[in-house]
Amino acid sequence: MFKRTKAPVEETTPTVAKPGGKGRPTPTRKEAEAAAKARARAPRDKREMSRLQREHRTEQSRKIREGIKSGDESYLPARDKGRVRRFIRDWIDRRFSIIDMLMPLLLISLILGFAGSRTMAAAGSMVMMIAVLFVIIDMVSIRFRLRRELKRRFPEEPLKGTTYYALTRAMQMKFMRIPKSRVKIGQALPEDYHR
């Protein structure tokens, strides 16, 4: 009555693959759909692989261009990075420049040059010489005023290359500048340009 009984031993029979079967369990629906998507994405030949790589490069280039235009620091080249360069861009963009008037002046000079008379041609070349003189005066003014402002705002920062950077930006018309302008003409700039 109080005798210990042995638990019945279950016999395990090895599962034998059915003849003509696939030899593995059937995948779930989720696994099958994931595998089908992976197969659809994978390139089938070299041409398709190069097309996918080209599309990927195009998308990456578009992202980089958008980042540079918007002024995102992570996409900017080394020459445009940093708070000093950001300040220089804003300082140049907020001022009205004679360069913005250069195209209309060139057009006027060209029209006067082809007007037919010597006095008109002389007037056209005079307009051009005056415009070039104003551009030179503007560039010299930018150099001294910007240096003074940089020394006041960033006394600990090195100023090497800042004049060249500012002048190359100032020589471009506003709509051609990259990174794009973040400030309007005459807008006051913030006092601190910390990261």
Quick: pLDDT tens for 9-43.
555 555 555 666 666 788 888 888 888 777 766 66
* Strands (DSSP E) found in the chain: none
What angle in degrees, to the nearest 10, is found between the helix axes of 118-153 and 102-113? 170
Task: In whole angstroms, give the CA distance from residue 126 to residue 12.
Answer: 106
Amino acid at 48: E
Q: Are residues 72 and 82 in the same domain?
A: no
Q: Are residues 96 and 123 in the same domain?
A: yes
Q: Are residues 53 and 103 in the same domain?
A: no
Count of domains in the chain? 2
Q: Are residues 112 and 142 in the same domain?
A: yes
Element containing residue 123 per DSSP (H, E): helix 118-153
* pLDDT above 60 for 195: no
The lowest-confidence range among 62-71, 108-117, 156-165 is 108-117
Q: Are residues 97 and 145 in the same domain?
A: yes
Q: Are residues 72 and 84 in the same domain?
A: no
* pLDDT above 90 for 141: yes
Q: What is the pTM of this model?
A: 0.66
Q: Specify the pLDDT at position 112.
A: 80
13 found inside a domain? no
Q: Are residues 61 and 142 in the same domain?
A: no
Q: Specify the pLDDT at position 11.
A: 56
Q: Specify the pLDDT at position 183.
A: 87
Q: Are residues 94 and 160 in the same domain?
A: yes
Top mean-pLDDT range of 91-105, 115-129, 133-147 = 133-147
pLDDT digits (tens, 9 = 90+) for 60-82: 889 888 888 888 888 888 888 88
Q: Are residues 139 and 58 in the same domain?
A: no
Q: Are residues 56 and 119 in the same domain?
A: no
Domain boundary residue, one of 34, 55, 76: 76
69 found inside a domain? yes
| CB-based contacts of 111, cutoff 8 Å, min separation 6 | 124
195 found inside a domain? no
Q: Are residues 59 and 110 in the same domain?
A: no
* pLDDT above 80 for 8: no
**Domain extent for 91:** 78-176
